A and B are shown apart, each in its own frame.
Chain A
Amino acid sequence: MLEIARFEWGRRARGTVLLSVAFLALIALTMGLFPSIRETGGELDAYLETLPPEVARAFVGDVTTLTTIEGYLVSQLYQFGWVILLGIYFAYAAGSTIASEVERGRADMLLSLPITRARFVVEKFLAFVPVVVAVNVVTFAAIYAGIVLVDESIDLADMAAVHGVSVLYLLACGGIGLLASVSFDSVRRAQTVGAGVVFGTFLLDSITYDTDYEWLGALSASRHFDPAAILVAGDLEWTGILVLAVATVALVAASAVVFERRDLQ
Chain B
Amino acid sequence: MTDANAATIEVSGLTKYYGDVRGAEDVTFDVERGEIFGFLGPNGAGKSTLIRVLLGLLEPTSGEARLLGSDVTARDELLEAKRNLGYLPSDVAFYDRVTGREILDYFGGIRGDERREELLERFPVPLDRTVKAYSSGNRQKLAIVATFMHDPDLVIMDEPTSGLDPLVQNEFYELLDEQRERGKTSFFSSHILSEVRRVCDRVGIIRDGRLIELDTVEGIIEESGTVVRVRLAEAPDPEALRFPGVSSVERIDGGSDVGVGDLESPGDESRGGDDAGATYQLVLSREFDALIDRLSAYTVDDLEVREAALEDVFMHFYDGSGAAADTAEPPAAGGDA
Interface residues of A (CB under 8 A from B): 3-4, 7, 10-11, 14, 104-109, 111-116, 260, 263-265
Contacts and interface: CB of A to CB of B under 8 A. Distances in A.
Contacts of B91: 105
Given A263-B59, A264-B57, A108 B18 contact: no
B58 A106 contact: no
List the 10 closest A-B pairs by CB distance, nearest first. A112-B87, A114-B82, A264-B57, A114-B83, A3-B109, A105-B93, A106-B93, A7-B106, A263-B58, A113-B110
17 contacts: A3-B106, A3-B109, A3-B110, A7-B102, A11-B98, A14-B97, A108-B52, A108-B57, A109-B143, A112-B87, A112-B156, A113-B107, A113-B110, A263-B57, A263-B59, A264-B52, A265-B57
Given A3-B106, A264-B52, A109 B59 contact: no
B92 interface: yes
B322 to A, nearest CB: 31
A208 B95 CA distance: 43
A114 B154 CA distance: 13
A115 B106 contact: no
Interface residues of B, number: 33
Contacts of B94: 106
Interface in B95-137: 95, 97-98, 102, 106-107, 109-111
B79 A116 contact: yes
A109 B87 CA distance: 6
A115 B95 CA distance: 19
Given A11-B98, A106-B93, A106-B95, A114 B111 contact: yes
A108 B158 CA distance: 11
Contacts of A10: 98, 102
B52 to A, nearest CB: 7
A112 B85 contact: yes
Contacts of B82: 112-115
A108 B51 CA distance: 10
A114 B55 CA distance: 11
Given A3-B109, A113-B110, A11 B87 contact: no
Nearest to B57: A264
A130 B254 CA distance: 72
Contact of B18 (A7, A106, A113, A265): A265
Contacts of A263: 18, 57-59
Contacts of B58: 263-265
A107 B156 CA distance: 15
A109 B89 contact: yes
A108 B52 CA distance: 8
A111 B56 contact: yes
Contacts of B97: 11, 14
Contacts of A4: 110
Contact of A115 (B79, B86, B92): B79
Interface in B230-260: none
Given A115-B110, A263-B57, A109 B79 contact: no
B302 to A, nearest CB: 49
Most buried by A among B52, B88, B95: B95
Nearest to B90: A105
B55 A108 contact: yes
Given A10-B102, A265-B18, A265-B58, A114 B79 contact: yes
A108 B59 contact: no
Nearest to B156: A112
Contact of B86 (A106, A112, A260): A112
Contacts of B87: 108-109, 112
A107 B89 CA distance: 11
Contacts of B110: 3-4, 113-115
Given A109-B87, A112-B85, A114-B85, 17 more contacts: A4-B110, A10-B102, A106-B94, A106-B95, A108-B52, A109-B89, A109-B93, A109-B143, A112-B87, A113-B107, A113-B110, A114-B79, A114-B110, A115-B110, A263-B18, A263-B58, A263-B59
Contacts of B198: none
Most buried by B among A7, A104, A107, A116: A7
B75 interface: yes
Contacts of A112: 55, 82, 85-87, 156
Most buried by A among B18, B58, B110, B156: B110
